Chain A
């Protein structure tokens, strides 16, 4: 068996999903089979990460067709890290789902859809040509539609319609962009395109195509003028689904922006990356201003999610080694942190049956340890040293100052303070203030059993430990991010690995 490490992150979730489909009649088995599959994906992700760290860019040709013609999968450091984090988040959310998803949703195929979505996410991270990226995007979209409307509550159906309409619009734009790119440059392989577009140099047409891709990926990543679908839909499904969406889906859009705007659209950096920076700044400020005025716990987190996408894209917009490294570090940090916050929100809801912050309260008395975990994640998201969010923000702000982008710096600092404000509001309303006395506990509030508690807390604690490690020992992580950023800025190794092609 001479299998490339690249195919396992795709095959493991696919085979898991197939197995779960065959076991449809036995939903009680789903969680355990699925959990094994999730751990398998984590192992596959770590294996890929190790391979890429020791051997550099890894590629695999599908069916043995050579690179610019056949389908090729490629993973550089950025892809490998994201696949590994996807495995980690998949495992964590899977563990949480064992107590957080009701039996009815399990019976209607929650776990198969989750694994298909993980396959789509990993596929998008390792796709080597732009059309293949489109296909993986659609795979994960289909699976996420299923997850979003699973259960069929009215709010979920409405959210699914909003999510579906705007994401399909983005997909149509994406496909149009692919068409323009093929007609214009005559290739679809991203490494091949990099050379062809560089040959042609800057032109209005290539800028126009770049803007089409910015529109498409910006919608999927929830950048400023296109983010409205996100706060309208992410809070509708049950907590673990919200958490995995928040942690993974928008980051696929961010990854696609990173890949295309470092490899392909670099002919006219002042124009394309200038726009990226403007949108990033607006996303940060407007997203977090939105977070400050929301009253629903999940919508606060959704707007925080949107705002922090701005930081990641800011790193891309600044386009210096330090900024890209900061952006990559920040992406990894944010994937983990925002998932923790959504999971904690899920626990809060499960124990109180409430989402509105004014009817919540007194959680610190009830669960001090969970409150501490929330505080750690919230501080980390706001960028309090020495937690993981701080290092990413520090690198980004230093890079912005070095490029004398004072407006972007101001936006980033404002966003940081707004995050802190928003997190402080959540802390005050949900954990610190007394429970409103007039408000009786609703009937669907559940005291979890001991085992459910284990499954709830293990993923939160595990992810918090990873986040703490990134904060307290940032050096290896940051070195890795720097190496990944160098790989993005000097894509010759990637191009050579893809086009030189291992058989």
Chain B
């Protein structure tokens, strides 16, 4: 299972970075979203996929055996919520930027390099 998840994580990172390096605004946002997912999945995999390792229920090994470690899941949930907010904002931003620039091309983003 770890192997599959590792491969998926790697694929997500690769796809995310590839998309970010395209010239299109929209692809850049897609790349960022994929990168966020990759990081979440990494967190999930690295937290350990085996059962019987919860953070709290140490006194009763029988009860503990059926629980995974809840902490990575809590972290991922938090990261998903945050990522959701940031990505929603990013979508609004590129939409407005698209309106202002009139092109879906990162090469057009030049006005920060000239002044006045």
Q: Which among A159, A179, A188, A295 has the greatest number of chain B C-beta atoms within 10 A?
A: A179
Q: Which residues from 23 to 77 on chain B have a C-beta closer than 8 Å to any C-beta of chain A?
A: 25, 28, 32, 35-36, 38-40, 42-43, 45-48, 55-56, 71-72, 75
Interface pair A165/B112, CB less than 8 Å apart? no
Answer yes or no: B15 CB below 8 A from chain A CBs.
Answer: no
How many A residues touch the partner, as a band?
Answer: 35 or more
B38 touches A172 (CB 8 A): yes
Nearest-CB distance from A34 to chain B (Å)? 22
Cβ contact within 8 Å between A179 and B47: yes
Please state if A135 and B85 are interface contacts (CB–CB under 8 Å): no
Q: What are 30 A-B contacts defined by CB distance under 8 Å?
A: A134-B79, A138-B86, A141-B86, A142-B85, A142-B89, A149-B96, A157-B96, A157-B97, A158-B109, A158-B111, A160-B97, A161-B28, A161-B97, A161-B106, A162-B109, A164-B90, A168-B35, A176-B42, A178-B43, A179-B39, A179-B45, A179-B46, A179-B47, A179-B72, A182-B43, A182-B75, A232-B112, A235-B112, A236-B112, A354-B116
Interface of B is mostly: helix
Residue from A138, A176, A178, A295 in contact with B82 in the complex, judged by beta carbons closer than 8 Å: A138
Roughly how many angstroms separate A161 CA and B38 CA in the complex, as a whole number? 21
Q: Check if B43 sits within 8 Å of A152, measured CB to CB.
A: no
Task: Answer whether residue B94 sits at the interface, using C-beta atoms and an 8 A cutoff.
Answer: yes
- Nearest neighbor of B100 in chain A, beta-carbon distance: A154
* 16 extra interface residue pairs, beta carbon distance < 8 Å, beyond A154-B101, A157-B96, A356-B116: A131-B75, A138-B86, A142-B86, A155-B111, A158-B97, A161-B109, A162-B109, A169-B20, A172-B35, A173-B39, A176-B42, A183-B45, A183-B46, A232-B112, A232-B113, A295-B115
Chain A, 165-201, CB within 8 A of any chain B CB = 165, 168-169, 171-173, 175-176, 178-180, 182-184, 188
B116 touches A359 (CB 8 A): yes
Check A355 for interface membership: any CB of B closer than 8 A.
yes
Contact in complex: B93, A145 (CB < 8 Å): yes
Quick one: CB contact mask for A374-409 with B, threshold 8 Å, 1 for yes?
000000000000000000000000000000000000
Give the CA-CA distance A44 to B82 in the complex, in Å.
27
Task: Tell me how far the C-beta of B59 lies from the nearest C-beta in chain A, rounded to whole angstroms.
Answer: 15
Of residues 255 through 294 on chain A, the ones whose CB sits less than 8 Å from some CB of chain B are: none
- Could you say which residues of chain B place their CB within 8 Å of the CB of A171? 86
Query: Which residues of B have CB within 8 Å of A135?
Result: 78, 82
Nearest Cβ on chain B to A237's Cβ, whole angstroms: 11
Query: Which A residues lie within 8 Å of B72 (CB)?
Result: 179, 182
- Tell me how far the C-beta of B16 lies from the nearest C-beta in chain A, rounded to whole angstroms: 8
B89 touches A145 (CB 8 A): yes
CB closest chain-B residue, reference A232: B112
Partner of A164, one of B40, B93, B106, B113: B93
Least CB distance from A154 to B in Å reads: 4
Residues of A contacting B25 in the complex (Cβ-Cβ under 8 angstroms): 161
Q: Which residue of B lies closest to A233 (CB)?
A: B112
CB contacts (< 8 Å) of B71 on chain A: these are 182, 188
With beta carbons under 8 angstroms apart, the residue of A152, A155, A175, A182 that contacts B96 is: A152
A131–B74 CA distance with the chains assembled, in angstroms: 11
On whether the beta carbons of A155 and B46 are closer than 8 Å, the reply is no
Which residue of B47, B56, B93 contacts A183 across the interface (Cβ within 8 Å)?
A: B47
Q: Give CA–CA (A87, B55) in the complex, Å.
A: 37
In chain A between 183 and 224, which residues have their CB closer than 8 angstroms to a CB of chain B? 183-184, 188
Q: Within 8 Å of chain B (Cβ to Cβ): is A296?
A: yes
Contacting residues, chain A, for B94 (C-beta < 8 A): 161
Q: How far is B37's CA from A168's CA once the two chains are assembled, in angstroms?
A: 12
Please measure, in the bound complex, the distance between the C-alpha atom of A254 and the C-alpha atom of B79, giving whole angstroms: 23
Q: Which residues of A sit under 8 angstroms from B82, Cβ to Cβ? A: 135, 138
Do B86 and A179 touch (CB < 8 A)?
no
